[in-house]
């Protein structure tokens, strides 16, 4: 059995009216990464992830969501980012957790993401799978809003395997 902690915080940042933030110089010593974002938005718009500063058409994603009355699914191919695909609360915080699997491995990078955005009568719950078609190790992660700014916290965790 592995000794010591296997689920470790790597970095956290307080977002105060931020439209973009970056975790950089991520060490390659973990197996998976988990980004947790708890925020409110000035406009209610979604945000997206990019890796290693890549702004090319290297991303795709598929989402499954429920909006309180129906379940649906949508997707995007050859996109310039992985859209977290949920609005963000303007009054109450929304929560997003993104698992970046085998981020330092030699395959394309798959992420699993969860969104919880409840607005007392409306809102979204979703699950999302995303792909970055690149076999390089992820060393930086950038979150960017589609509009407006975010206030709250963003934390990056690392998980080690035996």
Partner 1 sequence: MSRYSPRARLTNSSTTSTVANWFGNQFVDVPPLSSYESIATATGTGSSTTISFSSIPSGFKHLQIRGIGRSDGVSTSLTKLLLRFNSDSGTNYSWHYLLGDGGTASALGGASATSIELREGLIRASMLANTMSAYLVDILDAFSSSKNKTVRAFTGIEENDTNTASRITITSGLWMNTNAITSIDLVSFSGNLSTSTTFALYGIKEA
Residue 101 binds partner 1, judged by CB under 8 A: yes
- Integer Cα distance of 95 and 22 in angstroms: 18
* 13 is a contact residue toward partner 1 (CB under 8 A): yes
Q: Which of 16, 55, 92, 122 is close enough to bind partner 1 by CB under 8 A?
A: 16
Which of 91/162 has CB closer to partner 1? 162
Q: Nearest 5°: phi and psi at 22?
A: -135, 135
The footprint of partner 1 on residues 125-144 (CB under 8 A) is 127-131, 133, 135
3-state secondary structure of 62: strand
Which residue lies nearer to partner 1 by CB, 10 or 90? Answer: 10
Name the DSSP class of 131: E
Cβ 7 vs Cβ 58: under 8 Å:
no
Q: Does 85 bind partner 1 (CB under 8 A)?
A: no
Structure tokens at 105: 């491995």
**Pick 106 or 120: Cβ nearer partner 1:** 106
């Amino acid at each position: 059995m592995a000794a010591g902690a296997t689920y470790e915080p790597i970095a956290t940042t307080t977002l105060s009216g931020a439209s973009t933030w970056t975790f950089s110089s991520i060490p390659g010593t973990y197996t998976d990464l988990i980004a947790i974002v708890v925020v409110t938005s000035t406009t209610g718009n979604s945000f997206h992830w990019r890796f290693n500063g890549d702004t090319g058409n290297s991303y795709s994603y598929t989402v499954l969501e429920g909006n309180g009355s129906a379940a649906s699914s949508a997707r995007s191919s050859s996109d310039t980012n992985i859209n977290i695909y949920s609005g963000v609360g303007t009054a109450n915080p929304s929560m997003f957790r993104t698992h970046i699997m085998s981020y330092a491995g030699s395959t394309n990078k798959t992420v699993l993401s969860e969104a919880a955005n409840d607005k007392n009568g409306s809102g979204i719950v979703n699950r999302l799978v995303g792909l970055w078609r690149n076999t390089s190790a992820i060393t930086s992660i950038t979150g960017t809003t589609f509009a407006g700014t975010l206030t709250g916290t963003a934390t990056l965790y690392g998980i080690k395997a035996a």
